[in-house]
Amino acid sequence: MAENAVATAGQDTHGETTRAGFYFAPRVDIYETEQELTLYADLPGVRAEDVNLRFERGELILQGRIPKRQRPGQLLVNEYEEGDFYRVFHIHESIDNTRIGAECKQGVLIVHLPKVEAAKPRQVQVRAS
């Protein structure tokens, strides 16, 4: 179901140059339960107010900025992305877009994508005749 309910546009997690500048695509994990899809985006150092998450015309758009980190000493390895990020997910109609919610916890953006009632599995009772 997850493959059909959420499709990613530009799954490359490396930077991408657009007309507006250079963006990187944060890494995500998406899990599915009977009730919802949950998207986890790795955004170390991001604050909730630095995230712009919106739903438009069937797409969930995630963009924002991770501020530059100031640390003492000489940088030897640099794997954490900093700067502007952007990612788009195409959302299937089985997701109730009026109930999408999100929270930031310890550098991870968690987006809840509840399923519409018709898309949730239900048990069908079989009667003996």
Indicate the pTM of the whole model. Answer: 0.75
pLDDT of res. 7: 60
Q: What pLDDT score was predicted for residue 39?
A: 97
Give percent of the chain above pLDDT 90: 44
Q: Distance (Å, rounded) from C-alpha 49 to C-alpha 42?
A: 16
Q: How confident is the model at residue 12 (pLDDT cuts 50, 70, 90)?
A: very low
What local confidence, expressed as pLDDT, does residue 10 receive?
46
Mean local confidence (pLDDT), 70-93: 87
pLDDT digits (tens, 9 = 90+) for 49-64: 989 999 999 999 999 9
Q: Which of 46, 44, 50, 49 lies closest to 80, judged by CA?
A: 44
Mean pLDDT of 82-110: 92
Q: Which domains does the chain have, with CATH numbers?
A: 2-119 (2.60.40.790)
CA distance 31 to 33: 7
Q: Mapping DSSP to helix (H, G, I), strand (E, B) and coil, where does residue 23 land?
A: strand
Distance CA 12, CA 86 (A): 11
What pLDDT does residue 103 have?
A: 95
